[in-house]
Amino acid sequence: MEYRISNRLAALKPSAIREIFKATDNPSIVPFALGNPAPESFPVEVIRTFTKEILDENPAVALQYGITEGYAPLCALLRERMRDVYHCGREGDDLIVVSGAQQGAELAAKALCDEGDTVLCENPSFIGVLNAFRSLRVNLKGIPLHEDGLDIEALEQALRTEQRVRMLYIIPNFQNPSGITTSLEKRRAVYALARKYNIIILEDNPYGELRFAGEDLPHIKSMDEDGRVIYLGTFSKILSAGLRVGYVLGPAPVLQKMVVAKQGEDVHTAMLSQMIAARFLAWNGFAAHLERVRTLYREKCGRMLDGIRRYFDPRITHTTPQGGLFLWCTLPEGMQLMDYCKAAIAKGVAVVPGTAFLPDTQGQSQSFRLTFAAPSEEQIEQGLRLLGGIPLQ
């Protein structure tokens, strides 16, 4: 039979990272391409204990359907933490639980954007959310990313000239893929422009708890005075990626429509996962666990930066992240990125070409993403030595 694929999905390509993920099933491949958190960051024994307690004490709730908005005790803990720690959430805001922050981004766009509307985003940006937006047939417009965040002049130019701009998608902390952090000055400028041009900011913060250097900066959501910032958070990088628990804090009228959209996707986020996340937040070892994870990534990032200095040609430039999972390397002008990435695979190292992260699918890039989270320390050393052996044309 010949199948007719919907117009929404016919032109959509698989995630380049998910495709590379298949290649990393080979244990001999150094997995610099994966966006996975470090397996050793998972609090396995704590999760095992929480799961047993939940199934002993309240199996009917854990294994049953739940309400779409989320498990009430978890929502209450998250509201309290966002208010008391991050000064986010004012009158008129609500919070819902979603199956990972990416679902939150997709639901926000589904609630706010019509086909043909424009979403502005950093260039480069996270491929998973870009593809979620593409599936809704919105127009993506990338704004250049500097060492301290978005090019503010280019952002205002786009706001003046692009048609039907509805939303700006931004990852201010340790951005994926670049590892860049948006400065306080630029966070304020972004919010001011959103007010001036009356658009929504979708603030994605999957890595914010993973700062291992520098000073914490306020969330853009903490500056929100008129209900135009939707904040995305997740447990994927601090508890477990596989549990698929994220959350959204934002204006109640928008979240109410996101709930309706979620009911058509998965009804609700898995109850057992939500109950584990609630116990994790209330756990008296939570702060110490976060510090252990930050220390782990500080050491891994330091090892990667040291290896880059020792093995890479100095013509390859790189970012120096203050947290998160990634850094961004740029080849000298004139060298073909895909040739380099193919040479890396031939040597047994998987990296992600920068073209995967471009809002413009026809765009060009000289950069590639590395992660220091998933590989072991031995793999980091081995992988960088092998990459350093690739001749630059």
For the segment 159-206, what is each residue's pLDDT rounded down to a tens digit? 999 999 999 999 999 999 999 999 999 999 999 999 999 999 999 999
Domain harbouring 376, CATH code = 3.90.1150.10
Tens of pLDDT, residues 210-262: 999 999 999 999 999 999 999 999 999 999 999 999 999 999 999 999 999 99
Q: Are residues 124 and 34 in the same domain?
A: no
Residue 393 lies in a domain: no
CA angle 327, 322, 158 (to 5 degrees): 70
Tell me, what's the pLDDT at 114? 97
Count of domains for the chain: 2
Please state, rounded to an integer, the average pLDDT across all residues of the chain: 94
Task: State yes or no: pLDDT of 8 exceeds 90.
Answer: no
Structure token digits, residue 334: 């004139």
264 and 185 in a single domain? The answer is yes
51 and 34 in a common domain? no
Is the pLDDT at 11 greater than 70, yes or no? no
What's the Cα-to-Cα distance from 17 to each of 31, 60, 128, 252, rounded to whole Å? 11, 38, 9, 34
What is the arithmetic mean of pLDDT over 334-339? 91
Domain holding 139: CATH number?
3.40.640.10
Class of residue 137 by CB neighbours under 10 A (exposed 0-12, middle 13-18, buried 19+) = middle
The verdict on residue 74 lying in a domain is yes
Residue 72: CB atoms within 10 Å:
13
Same domain for 337 and 254: no
| 52 shares its domain with 97 | yes
Q: Give yes or no for residue 332 having a pLDDT over 60.
A: yes
* pLDDT over threshold 80, residue 13: no
Q: Which H/E stretch holds residue 345?
A: helix 337-347
Closest CA to 255 of 132, 113, 104, 115: 104
Q: Do both 246 and 313 map to the same domain?
A: no
Instruction: Tell me: do 157 and 36 sit in the same domain.
Output: no
User: Do 306 and 210 share a structural domain?
Assistant: no
Residue pLDDT, tens place only, 54-86? 999 999 999 999 999 999 999 999 999 999 999
Task: Give the pLDDT band (50/70/90) at residue 19.
Answer: low
Mean pLDDT calculated for residue range 5-32: 68
Identify the domain boundary among 255, 282, 309: 282
Q: How many CB atoms lie within 10 A of CB 61?
A: 15
The two tokens of residue 72 are 């009430």
pLDDT tops 90 at residue 112 = yes
Cβ contacts of residue 372 below 8 Å, gap of 6+?
297, 300, 301, 303, 304, 325, 326, 327, 380
Contact 171, 124 (CB under 8 A): no
Q: What is the largest CA-CA distance in the chain?
A: 63
pLDDT range class, residue 34, cuts 50, 70, 90? confident
95 and 32 in a common domain = no
Pull the structure tokens for residue 137. 């047939």
Instruction: Verify that 174 and 111 share a domain, yes or no.
Output: yes
Checking if the pLDDT of 291 tops 90, the result is yes
pLDDT of amino acid 20: 55
Beta pairing class for 93-98 and 246-251 = antiparallel
Residue 328 lies in a domain: yes
Q: Which residue segment(s) compose the domain that 21 sits in?
A: 9-43+287-388
DSSP conformation class of 250: E
Q: How confident is the model at residue 152 (pLDDT cuts 50, 70, 90)?
A: very high
Q: Which two tokens stand for residue 238?
A: 């601090």
pTM as predicted: 0.94
Cβ–Cβ < 8 Å for 166, 118 = yes
* Per-residue pLDDT tens over the stretch 374-388: 999 999 999 999 999
The pLDDT value given to residue 25: 63
Q: What is the DSSP letter of 223?
A: G
- Together in a domain, 305 and 328: yes
Residue 270 has pLDDT above 90, yes or no: yes
